[in-house]
């Protein structure tokens, strides 16, 4: 879950908004309640497997318990049950004592694979998992559990900054295919990703649409990771980084401006300010794209309600918000028409058009 800037295609019959397919486990029995209370154990098994890079180790060849222990440098105690649990969770497949990745794990948990999301999971394990133990205190005090000034210190620590960049990339990667199809990009000449971190999204857009001019606006400390990432993508010199503070500085002008995992970090008043600044920055006839884990109308939006609580744990004023709220903000700023659609299971894309 992004700290700075972290739905199925069913829709409400009355308002046409996406409704999450996520729901809480069956809590109709004592066993179900206990299962929910101990769900952190299963989550930790997955996070540990990613931290060990188990799925990468099994990508080229399945392995026995002994072979896996040797590949990963493990003692062996608990490994049999660990592998069996991952198989029971559907992450591994076991046949005749040999373990292999399940198809989804092979697509999304193998380091370097196009669909890899392990960076987001590892960032959550390091940064978010410990904070959940303080939810009681946050609900009592209204204060986040993240250490005061921690983000600023992270920006000055190269290793922590790299971890943060990997977490942002992991959260973004599943969304890229749909974002690449969000618009007829050939109709636009420039794109600005606000809070775009190392420039992954802008880089993918420019790679797919070479005529598109790519820009990223973020804190000055992100310029180093931006340079590294554009070099990896072979785009050095073809995209531009703009360092600044989006509350204090004007946003560079562009045909398309993107707020991805940005607005949920701030209060409603600050969200309104950012949308107004976006309206000023988008060229006439251009578009503001907003995507976040927005809340649906009903109370069963489990994944995104969890995401909203994460914002309470890690930010001073952030929370997930409804599609209706951002639509109202955009229309008040002058965008019209404003439409929305699902981006992936838990993510919504709002398209805000600026009149020509």
The single residue of 108, 215, 261, 264 carrying the catalytic annotation is 264
Distance CA(161)–CA(156), nearest Å, equals 7
Distance CA(240)–CA(60), nearest Å, equals 38
Per-residue tokens: 350: 């709002």
Told to judge if 108 belongs to the known catalytic residues of this protein, a careful annotator would answer no
Distance CA(245)–CA(195), nearest Å, equals 9
DSSP letters along 292-321, please? Answer: E--B-SSTT-HHHHHHHHHHHHH-SS----
Q: Is 348 exposed, middle or buried (0-12, 13-18, 19+ CB in 10 A)?
A: buried
Q: Where are the alpha helices (DSSP H) in the chain?
A: 30-37, 39-52, 54-57, 65-72, 79-88, 103-108, 118-123, 135-141, 150-155, 158-172, 176-180, 200-208, 223-232, 268-281, 302-314, 323-333
Neighbour tally for 137: CB within 10 Å:
13
Question: Any idea what DSSP says for residue 322?
Answer: B
User: Would you please indicate which residues are annotated as catalytic (active-site) residues?
Assistant: 264
């Amino acid at each position: 879950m992004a700290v700075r800037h972290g739905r199925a295609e069913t829709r409400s019959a009355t308002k046409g908004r996406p409704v999450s397919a996520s729901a809480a486990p069956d809590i109709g029995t004592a066993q179900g309640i206990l299962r929910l209370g101990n769900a952190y154990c299963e989550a930790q098994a997955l996070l540990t497997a990613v931290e060990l890079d188990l799925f990468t180790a099994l990508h080229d060849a399945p392995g026995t318990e002994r072979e896996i222990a040797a590949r990963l440098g493990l003692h062996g105690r608990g490994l049999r049950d660990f592998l069996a649990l991952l198989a029971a969770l559907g992450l591994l497949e076991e046949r005749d004592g040999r373990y292999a990745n399940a198809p989804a794990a092979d697509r999304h948990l193998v380091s370097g694979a196009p669909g890899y999301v392990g960076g987001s999971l590892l960032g959550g394990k390091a940064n978010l998992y410990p904070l959940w133990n303080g939810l009681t205190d946050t609900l009592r005090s209204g204060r986040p559990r993240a250490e005061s000034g921690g983000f600023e210190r992270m920006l000055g620590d190269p290793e922590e900054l790299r971890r943060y960049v990997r977490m942002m990339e992991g959260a973004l990667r599943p969304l890229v295919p749909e974002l690449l199809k969000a618009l007829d990009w050939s109709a636009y000449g420039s794109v600005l990703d606000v809070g775009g971190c190392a420039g992954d999204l802008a880089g993918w857009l420019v790679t797919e649409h070479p005529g598109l001019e790519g820009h990223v606006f973020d804190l000055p400390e992100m310029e180093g990771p931006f340079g590294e990432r554009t070099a990896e993508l072979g785009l050095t010199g073809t995209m531009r980084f703009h360092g600044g503070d989006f509350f204090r500085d004007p946003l560079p002008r562009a045909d398309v401006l993107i707020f991805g995992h940005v607005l949920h970090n701030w209060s409603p008043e600050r969200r309104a300010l950012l949308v107004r600044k976006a309206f000023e920055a988008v060229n006439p006839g251009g578009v503001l794209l907003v995507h976040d884990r927005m809340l649906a109308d009903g109370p069963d939006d489990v994944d995104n309600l969890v995401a909203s609580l994460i914002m309470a744990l890690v930010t001073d004023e952030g929370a997930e918000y409804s599609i209706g709220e951002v639509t109202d903000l955009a229309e008040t700023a002058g965008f019209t028409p404003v439409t929305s659609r699902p981006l992936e299971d838990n993510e919504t894309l709002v398209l805000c058009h600026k009149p020509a």
